[in-house]
Structure 1
Amino acid sequence: MEPVHHDLAGGPAFEPMIQIDMEIKAFVSVWRHCDYVSTYMARMISQNRSDSVRHSNLFSSAFNELLEVVFRTRHADGELACRVSRHGATDRIELILPCVPEERRFYEEAVSQVAGIEARERYLNSVSGDLAPSREVVLLELAVDYNATLRLEEADGDAIKLVVDLPLEGLRN
């Protein structure tokens, strides 16, 4: 049996797999970048999963949703870093993105809304309307449909780090 490695906070260590960095201006210049980046990264990390096609499709869909939230950013300068790491059945997406104070408040509020037992009810209420899904609803969807956990961490400068853990290998839906 292999020993379990832990990070500095005492949690299991996630092994880095792949990272893509790009200027946020370049990323938000073309909507299709969301699909290109998510599809590429999904194919790269899904090769050794029990059902690599299923895993790639689920990961690409979830990651694309996250990138579409980032795409709507109001910050025009800085770098977007997309990192994927893994521990067991869970893939971790870390997005470090430039963030103005209003965007930071949006992410803080949205991430706080995805935690707790009310998340499913909020999500179901939000998708029952006729409006297109908001950025908040997209994050709720990840928590409810993909069993994702989301949190924010501090990053250098005017940036935030959005961390999303996706237990896709064990997902039964």
Structure 2
Amino acid sequence: MAVGSYGPPPATYVARMVSHDRHDPIRHANLLSSALNELFEMSFHTRESDGTLTCRLYRNGLIERIELTFPCSAEQRNSYEAIVERIGDGQALANYLHVITDDAAHAEHAILLGLAVNYDADIELSGQDGGRMTFVVDIALERLLN
């Protein structure tokens, strides 16, 4: 789908297609679109200009899996690994509150911690060869109350 001035943005379009058979499709599409946009923003923070961005969506029961692969330097990958570790240490909410109140914090910290806290997302990094990395994000949007 070409990005232009016609029709919804790509994340919104994809979210609507994926959400059509959910209990509350409009709510589900809005939440999924927001999560996709956050992940797309992560790919832009790498500032890599060469390569392909690939996004795959899978469904298993209530879980939506987003796999986003994009070019990424080893340094940036190390930074993302540190963030994902902070999510898994059981202190995601405390880390998120610290990051959103710290003017010196990087936006990608807030984005990933926000997905973990606000969407109850499970986030992993998958290794890639050739300067690429993949975020694997599992979200159960139907379980979210707010």
Q: Structure 2-normalised TM-score?
A: 0.88
* Cα 1:132–1:112 shift into 2, 3 Å: closer
Counterpart Cα distance in 1 of 2:10 and 2:85:
27
What is aligned with 1:60?
Answer: 33
Equivalent of residue 91 in structure 2, options 111, 118, 136? 118
Residues 1:42 and 2:42 are matched in the alignment:
no
CA-to-partner distance for each residue in 1:46-99, whole Å, 9 max, x for gaps?
000000000001111111111111112222111110000010001000011111
Q: Which runs of 5+ in 1 are unaligned?
A: 1-19
Residues 1:77 and 2:50 are matched in the alignment:
yes
Counterpart Cα distance in 1 of 2:118 and 2:13:
22
Secondary structure of the residue aligned to 2:76 is helix
Map residues 7-46 of structure 1 onto 2, 5 A cutoff.
Answer: 36-46=9-19
Counterpart Cα distance in 1 of 2:53 and 2:131:
12
* Percent sequence identity over aligned pairs: 43
CA RMSD of aligned residues (A): 2.4
Moved over 4 A (4+): 129-133
Counterpart Cα distance in 2 of 1:132 and 1:44:
35
What is aligned with 1:151?
Answer: 124
Residues 1:98 and 2:75 are matched in the alignment:
no
Secondary structure of the residue aligned to 1:79 is coil
Q: Which runs of 5+ in 2 are unaligned?
A: none
Residues 1:135 and 2:95 are matched in the alignment:
no
Secondary structure of the residue aligned to 2:136 is strand
Which structure's residues are more often helix, by fraction? 2
Equivalent of residue 82 in structure 2, options 84, 106, 109? 109
Q: Structure 1-normalised TM-score?
A: 0.75
Contact 1:55–1:169 (CA under 8 A) maintained in structure 2: yes
Count of paired positions: 144
* Cα 1:130–1:103 shift into 2, 3 Å: closer
